[in-house]
Amino acid sequence: MIISTQISYGYKPLIEIFLKANNLDLAIKDMDAYPYGKITLECEDNSNAAYTITFMSVKHLGFENMLCDYLIKCGVPPNIISIGKAAVKRDMVELDKEWEDHRRSIGLR
Protein backbone atom coordinates (compact mmCIF):
# COMPACT_ATOMS: atom_id res chain seq x y z
CA MET A 1 0.00 0.00 0.00
CA ILE A 2 1.34 3.43 -0.94
CA ILE A 3 0.12 6.62 0.72
CA SER A 4 1.08 9.82 -1.10
CA THR A 5 0.88 12.96 1.02
CA GLN A 6 1.30 16.70 0.56
CA ILE A 7 3.54 16.87 3.64
CA SER A 8 7.04 18.18 3.00
CA TYR A 9 9.99 15.80 3.37
CA GLY A 10 11.43 18.35 5.81
CA TYR A 11 9.10 16.98 8.50
CA LYS A 12 10.41 13.43 8.18
CA PRO A 13 11.78 13.36 11.78
CA LEU A 14 8.41 14.36 13.24
CA ILE A 15 6.54 11.83 11.10
CA GLU A 16 9.02 9.11 12.16
CA ILE A 17 8.26 9.90 15.81
CA PHE A 18 4.54 9.65 15.11
CA LEU A 19 4.92 6.31 13.35
CA LYS A 20 7.11 4.90 16.11
CA ALA A 21 4.71 6.08 18.84
CA ASN A 22 1.79 4.38 17.06
CA ASN A 23 3.73 1.17 16.25
CA LEU A 24 3.26 1.63 12.51
CA ASP A 25 5.77 -0.20 10.35
CA LEU A 26 5.85 2.19 7.39
CA ALA A 27 8.73 3.14 5.12
CA ILE A 28 9.08 6.86 4.41
CA LYS A 29 10.05 7.65 0.84
CA ASP A 30 10.31 10.96 -0.96
CA MET A 31 9.57 11.31 -4.64
CA ASP A 32 11.20 14.68 -5.38
CA ALA A 33 14.25 16.66 -4.33
CA TYR A 34 14.49 18.13 -0.83
CA PRO A 35 13.16 20.56 0.53
CA TYR A 36 10.03 20.56 -1.62
CA GLY A 37 9.74 16.78 -1.89
CA LYS A 38 6.61 15.23 -0.47
CA ILE A 39 6.51 12.27 1.91
CA THR A 40 5.27 8.97 0.56
CA LEU A 41 4.51 6.19 3.03
CA GLU A 42 4.71 2.53 2.03
CA CYS A 43 3.67 -0.66 3.80
CA GLU A 44 2.77 -4.23 2.95
CA ASP A 45 -0.80 -4.93 1.85
CA ASN A 46 -2.80 -6.88 4.44
CA SER A 47 -0.31 -6.08 7.21
CA ASN A 48 -1.17 -4.90 10.71
CA ALA A 49 0.01 -1.41 9.75
CA ALA A 50 -2.38 -1.33 6.79
CA TYR A 51 -5.34 -2.29 8.99
CA THR A 52 -4.32 0.22 11.66
CA ILE A 53 -4.02 2.98 9.06
CA THR A 54 -7.47 2.12 7.71
CA PHE A 55 -8.97 2.33 11.19
CA MET A 56 -7.17 5.60 11.97
CA SER A 57 -8.26 7.05 8.63
CA VAL A 58 -11.92 6.37 9.36
CA LYS A 59 -11.64 7.72 12.90
CA HIS A 60 -9.75 10.93 11.97
CA LEU A 61 -11.32 11.70 8.56
CA GLY A 62 -8.23 10.67 6.65
CA PHE A 63 -4.70 9.56 7.48
CA GLU A 64 -3.05 12.63 5.98
CA ASN A 65 -5.46 14.85 7.92
CA MET A 66 -4.36 13.12 11.11
CA LEU A 67 -0.68 13.64 10.26
CA CYS A 68 -1.31 17.33 9.54
CA ASP A 69 -3.15 17.70 12.87
CA TYR A 70 -0.17 16.09 14.60
CA LEU A 71 2.25 18.52 12.94
CA ILE A 72 0.06 21.47 13.93
CA LYS A 73 0.07 20.25 17.54
CA CYS A 74 3.88 20.09 17.29
CA GLY A 75 3.88 23.82 16.50
CA VAL A 76 4.16 23.73 12.72
CA PRO A 77 2.13 26.53 11.12
CA PRO A 78 -0.50 25.01 8.79
CA ASN A 79 0.50 27.19 5.86
CA ILE A 80 3.99 25.67 5.57
CA ILE A 81 3.25 21.96 6.03
CA SER A 82 3.56 21.40 2.28
CA ILE A 83 6.53 23.76 1.84
CA GLY A 84 9.13 22.73 4.36
CA LYS A 85 10.50 23.17 7.82
CA ALA A 86 9.38 26.06 9.97
CA ALA A 87 11.72 29.02 10.16
CA VAL A 88 13.58 29.19 13.43
CA LYS A 89 13.50 32.63 14.99
CA ARG A 90 16.96 33.64 16.17
CA ASP A 91 17.80 36.39 18.62
CA MET A 92 21.05 37.96 17.44
CA VAL A 93 21.83 39.47 20.87
CA GLU A 94 21.55 36.02 22.45
CA LEU A 95 23.73 34.51 19.72
CA ASP A 96 26.40 37.19 20.31
CA LYS A 97 26.33 36.45 24.04
CA GLU A 98 26.71 32.71 23.42
CA TRP A 99 29.64 33.41 21.08
CA GLU A 100 31.38 35.59 23.68
CA ASP A 101 30.88 32.89 26.33
CA HIS A 102 32.25 30.23 24.00
CA ARG A 103 35.23 32.43 23.07
CA ARG A 104 36.11 32.90 26.73
CA SER A 105 35.72 29.17 27.41
CA ILE A 106 38.30 28.27 24.77
CA GLY A 107 40.77 30.94 25.90
CA LEU A 108 40.24 33.71 23.34
CA ARG A 109 39.85 37.31 24.40
User: What SS3 state is found at 45?
Assistant: coil
Predicted TM-score of the model (pTM): 0.67
| Closest listed residue to residue 26, CA positions, set 48, 11, 7 | 48
Cis peptide before 13 (omega within 30 of 0): no
Tens of pLDDT, residues 18-70: 999 988 888 887 666 554 678 888 888 888 888 888 888 888 888 888 899 99
* Cβ within 8 Å of residue 18, ≥6 positions away: 67, 70
- Residue 78: its H or E element: none
